[in-house]
Chain A
């Protein structure tokens, strides 16, 4: 599957600031999934979006799938130190295989 690009690659924020990572594809995606990988850990599934324009929330996290299903975003409100990690988007391509985005590494400073 085609790898999707994520921006930014790195983001440093002060605790309490908001954070957004964007996932962009040149082709229409069947779905988008988001994973979080803590430093030294393995990726953990957060959520899946399927519908055009879909928005889902998990506490301080808001996930959005674009109307054209070519982009997605993850927004964290009022970051905390527990939000530190790398956030990956991923999509299902041919053969039901999951292809991961390039990732955004988030660091939160007190």
Chain B
């Protein structure tokens, strides 16, 4: 299975600032997915990051708030912009192999 490195693993940020999360995969993958997991909750898909085109966002998530880059087939970033305490969550990148998902270790974000 793919090995996914995600960083930072955690961060504490001030409201109004932005944080960029990086996700590196050890093999080329067509699609990368970004999920959010609020405390004690399930995983919610934020967007699908496609190489060479704009990310596809799910309902309730917008590019201005969560801009995504996908410069090549092994790397993606997710930025959480203009953060508020409501953005405190775990953010996870993932890739698919044979239909199942493999996740990075996640970024635990706390916004004060």
A residues in contact (CB < 8 Å) with B: 3, 31, 33, 35, 41-45, 48, 88, 90, 92, 95-103
A45 to B92, CA, bound (A): 14
Interface assignment of B77: CB less than 8 Å from any CB of chain A:
no
With both beta carbons as reference points, the residue of chain B lying nearest to A31 in the complex is identified as B99
With both beta carbons as reference points, the residue of chain B lying nearest to A93 in the complex is identified as B45
Please determine whether A42 and B48 come into contact, CB atoms closer than 8 angstroms.
no
Please give the distance in Å from A71's CB to the nearest CB on chain B.
17
Instruction: Sample 23 A-B pairs with CB under 8 A, ordered by A number.
Output: A31-B99, A33-B99, A35-B101, A41-B105, A42-B103, A42-B105, A43-B92, A43-B101, A43-B103, A44-B103, A45-B101, A48-B100, A88-B43, A90-B101, A92-B99, A95-B48, A97-B33, A98-B101, A99-B45, A100-B43, A101-B42, A103-B41, A103-B42
With both beta carbons as reference points, the residue of chain B lying nearest to A92 in the complex is identified as B99
B residues in contact (CB < 8 Å) with A: 33, 41-45, 48, 56, 58, 92, 96, 99-106
Please determine whether A43 and B48 come into contact, CB atoms closer than 8 angstroms.
no
A9 to B87, CA, bound (A): 24
A98 to B102, CA, bound (A): 12
A45, A99, A102: the one within 8 Å of B102 (CB): A45
Which A residues are in CB contact (< 8 Å) with B56? 95
Which A residues are in CB contact (< 8 Å) with B105? 41-42
Please determine whether A102 and B42 come into contact, CB atoms closer than 8 angstroms.
yes
Which A residues are in CB contact (< 8 Å) with B43? 43, 88, 100
Which A residues are in CB contact (< 8 Å) with B106? 42
Please determine whether B45 and A98 come into contact, CB atoms closer than 8 angstroms.
yes
A33, A42, A97: the one within 8 Å of B92 (CB): A42
A3 to B103, CA, bound (A): 20
Shortest beta-carbon contacts, A-B, top 4: A42-B103, A45-B100, A100-B43, A100-B42
